[in-house]
Structure 1
Amino acid sequence: MTIITGMRMNPEVVDWARRRFLAAAAIGIAAAGTIRLFSLRPASAADANEIRPFRVDIPETELTDLRRRAAATRWPERETVDDQSQGIQLEKIRPLVEYWAAGYDWRKAEAKLNAQPQFMTEIDGLDIHFIHVRSKHQNALPVIVTHGWPGSVFENLKAIGPLTDPTAHGGRAEDAFDVVIPSMPGFGFSGKPANTGWGTDRIARAWAELMRRLGYASYVAQGGDWGSPISSAMARLAPEGLLGIHINLPAVVPPEIAAALAINGPAPDGLSEKERTAFETLAAGAKMGSRSYATMMGTRPQTIGYAISDSPAGLAAWMLGHPGFTRWTYDDSDPEKSRDEVLDDITLYWLTNSAASSARLYWEYGGGRSPVFAAGEMTSEIALPVAITVFPGENYQAPETWARRAYRNLSYFHEVDKGGHFAAWEEPELFAVELRAAFRPLRHPI
């Protein structure tokens, strides 16, 4: 893949006169009852690399319909156990959905998105939505940050400030990043694949093309959840310009551990204390059905898609059943995990009707297999530098011994004392600190 070298695009990707013209055109689209998207399909092959400004303005009729559906939820009886072994508990989900119907304000979430520079561009026949924020500091290192499921671009918004403006957040100017946050295919405002083949390798190639199109000669990649296998695929494919990756859900589980887990067998002999703890955590999660959502979406995404595309309460329960949300309160006692924060994310899935299209990524990945197995991610083929941060609230704690075995060029490994599966969402300042430290050795003038 050819990379444009020694080039930084003008921060004004398009002139403001053209922006106003597109805005006027988008208003006409909205009148027809669709989401107002400041994007028009390129008119010719010559415009295939066009980057178009994008803005969100959901018609009020869509929000009214959502509130009506949420208010009309038919609830089942409560679970027969006092834990989450049967799924998300009624006493936790019902107040959230009732607030969704009567108190939640999507316009505040919409304003969060529209406060960021958003764009759309067509890559490999599919529209890709992305946020692109340039640092005010010279020689900022470009980073492409990939979200996961049931996350979205919302999970990375709070990290933009600490990454692009480190001097305002306890960092140094030379630690600044330019930040690119795309919505994965089938997620959010990105296009929905109409055919098969949009797996992690294809997304990795699309991300490399996006960074090329933005004019970046050198860059790094970061991801947790789905962002981890996608970033790992980028490192394995090693497109020109990619310097290294940082992941916070690493694929370090060795083959013999994976084999024991597959048959619910005992832990192999000779494990260290940390390795045994990791094994027991993964084994317990399997017995509890922690990845049952992945199994369903990995085998029958269309079937579950009918239910979660039709019921707001069903969608919320399905998404909040993810183990990454286990410790979340969904109340205002913890603003990082409040009901509004949670509903911003869920509402984005609802309004873009992307419950089924996002689920298909699990099918593409292969029947719901786990992304933490080293062999499945072909980590032995990765030669680029790999940095790992282990957050204590993650689904399992990756041992450093396994990490060094999986990644031959492990450049950074650090265990921190707070944060969970949605690291950038839960601890944006700490997340930024980790990226600064992880990528510091890779920096050079762009």
Structure 2
Amino acid sequence: LRVSKDAYLSDLVVQGGLWGLELTDGGRVRLRRVGFSGQVTGAVRVAAGRLDVEDSRFEAAPATTVGVLLESGRAPSPEGGEPSSPRDASFTPEVLSNTDGAERAHHDSEAGTGAGARQGGPRQSGVTVEAHIRASTFTGPYRRAVRLRGADVRATLEALQFTGAATAVGVDGAYAEVRRSTAEGGQAAAFSVMDGTLILDEVSVMGHEYGVSSMRARRLDVHRFTSVRATRAGMGLLVSRARLRDIVIRDSGAYGGLQFSGGDLDVQGVRVDGAAEYGVMALRGKLRLRDVDIRRVHTADGVTGDGLHLRQVEADVEGVVVRDAQGACVLAAQNARVSLRGAKLETCGYVGLLTDTLARMNAANVDIQGAATALGALGNGELRVESLSASGLESGFIHAECEGTTQVHLKEFRSEDTRGLSARCVHASPK
């Protein structure tokens, strides 16, 4: 179907075609109880105009690229499809340390600046694309079930179910709101945004590589979000401006529960239960954490397993609980600047609070119950703690390598174990 004016379609099944339906010249198309299946490239493509979908279903053929494509500023390619692109860039610590290169590679692939995009024809600037899709299902191996591309694209997605799509919703420079929706059974990030805006409210993800991934997001707002069994991380946020509220991440993979690099992140109410390597890992940028609960952080190699892992970041943390972390409950390293208030740390396999490699941490009102060592300072790190209670220590109260500018300052502390307190770089006020 090729539509160029207003149209209302209901109780139809559309099978086959490169595209099931195209709207390229403006107008408004309303779909109600319409089914799409067997398309070669995608089910619906909108390059100008408005699309309203309700109570419809989209079923992918094995090689189908996209369910619904909303794009502005680009004419269709001769093949009628979207530019090809590899999977999203990984958020490994190595990639995070090489942000510029990762950004360029990710941007080129996702925005289609390669050979496939050069085939895309002349630009169509100033064209607005809008969509409202609700109470519908997307089933099968779509590369992206819904893709929004271009600064003039806006969409609201409500009460949707995504099953089997590599990515449920991909946003490239556009604006999208997703509410009361679920995604499961995919191999890439369930919801991804690059250079655009993504708002998620009451969204849950089962499986997938990441629950949410972002790169240079102008705005990422996530409220009441759940990720279960992500193969890499519940969330991977790169050079983005993000605001997270009421987040639950369970049984995430080796890249941690929540992974953040660069940008500005404001989090209130995050629960990480069962993570490999890291509970919350932050590298560079600014981080504000409130009401954090991290439990069961284990690692196969026995090297990391940190609850809060903070590197090169400016972090303001208040109200944190870490239980059963195989490594450090809270680690600040590589010139990080950390303010920590109100922390309850239980069963820290290696150490409760640790500073390393020029990091500085100011901590107040800290309770440590069960750790090899309560406090640690290495590599010219500085640790200042006020109002500390420590118990159940196996290897001592403080481990400080007193070389260079390494310092530990204590004020108002309680611990039956005082091993390490006499080190020359440890300065303690009377109990």
TM range (shorter): under 0.3
- Higher fraction of strand: 2
- Higher fraction of helix: 1
TM-score normalized with structure 2 length: 0.26
Structure with more relative contact order (C-alpha pairs < 8 Å, separation 6 or more): 1
Decide which structure has the larger Cα Rg and report it: 2
